[in-house]
Structure 1
Amino acid sequence: MTQIVFDANTGESHEEDWTPPTAAPPAPSEVDAERDRRIAAGFTFAGLFFQSRPDDRENISGASTAALGAMVAGAQQGDFRWTGRDVDFTWIAADNSEVPLDAHSMFALGTAAMAHKEDHIRAARALKDMDPIPADFATNPAYWP
């Protein structure tokens, strides 16, 4: 590519070869940041949207483990008092609605949270294996679950 260069001192112009600068390909750390953002953005389970920031995932994991223990101890589907408390167990969805969950459903919510995170980790791994990493990795939904 050529460009015309003007010399302000002499008033003369001439053509020079010029290569436009190219942006450096995205770094793996940028893919990791987008992966983490997408993981924390939330997921849908049973038609409802749930938050999945790190503390949310920790809480879901803990409740899911408790649900598994209750299932091993014999908790039945449809039993919303599987925690041993005198109130139905509910989980708060992103819209602040309280969702009653039996132990089996709570365990399924935990499994869905795990799959949400794992799917994004694998998508990011595939992106980081590309050479170069596509410039539109963060905006092109084809790269992400």
Structure 2
Amino acid sequence: MSFAVRNDLRGWRAVDGPDDLLGDEHYSEEQPELPVSIGASEVDAERDRRIDAGVMFQGVMYQSRATDRENIAGAAQLGFMAVVAGAQPGDLRWSNPGEDYAWIATDNSLVRMDAQTVVAFGKVAAERKQMLVFAGRDLKDSSPIPVDYADDKWWP
């Protein structure tokens, strides 16, 4: 196991113990505290984790991974077309006259939705992703990027 030593002329270096010291070096078993530098890739990873972590809509959590977002956007598009074609609020059979339209929540429950609700769901999901993208951009524009960049206080 190596330990850190400080030499005022040469900076920090690793040694195996006090017997490896040279001249004016000071032995310490503590590692030097190096400045932490957060890069854009760490912020991007946290942003992506949050985008994929789910989206809350009307008090219910839904999955929001890439395929989920694709499905939500497609359903919202179908819902919008149904509204334009005359689907009425409260009509749960707007997509298929034989059964109520429902979306599966993260707790595996079925949440019935009319076309207007599906459109609103799609809007909330898209807005959530956009807010996270812009929060990540703001963090990456910081100089330096805060060490606690993953803290909820930086994210919507």
Q: Which amino acid in the other structure matches residue 52 of structure 2?
A: A
1:30-52 Cα deviation digits (max 9, x unpaired) = 11111000000002111101110
Secondary structure of 2:111 counterpart: strand
1:63 aligned onto 2:75 = yes
**How far is 1:85 from its partner?**
3.4
Shift of 1:135: 1.0
TM-score by length of 2: 0.81
1:91 corresponds, among 98, 103, 123, to 103
SS in 1 for 2:69: helix
**Counterpart residue identity of residue 123, structure 2:** T
Output the amino acid matched with 1:29: S
Match of 1:130 in 2: 142
Change (3 A) 1:115 1:9: closer
Q: Residues 94 and 9 from structure 1, CA distance in 2 versus in 1: closer, same or farther, beyond 3 angstroms?
A: closer
* Residue 15 (structure 1) shift: 5.1
Alpha-carbon deviations, 1:116-143, whole Å to 9, x = none?
Answer: 10110010000000001111101x1110
Distance 1:75 1:136 in 2: 47
Q: In 2, Cα distance between the equivalents of 1:7 and 1:33?
A: 42
Output aligned runs, 1:1-145, within 5 Å.
8=19, 14=24, 20-138=32-150, 140-145=151-156
* Percentage of pairs with the same residue: 46
Q: How many residues align?
A: 141
- C-alpha RMSD over aligned residues: 2.6
Runs of 5+ unmatched residues, structure 1: none
CA distance in 2, matches of 1:131, 1:9: 39
Provide the rounded CA distance (Å) in 1 between the counterparts of 2:59 and 2:18: 66
Shift of 1:91: 0.4
Give the structure, 1 or 2, with the largest relative contact order (CA under 8 Å, sep 6 or more): 1
How high is the TM-score relative to the length of structure 1?
A: 0.87
Deviation per CA, 1:50-76, whole angstroms, max 9, x where unpaired? 110001000000000000000000111
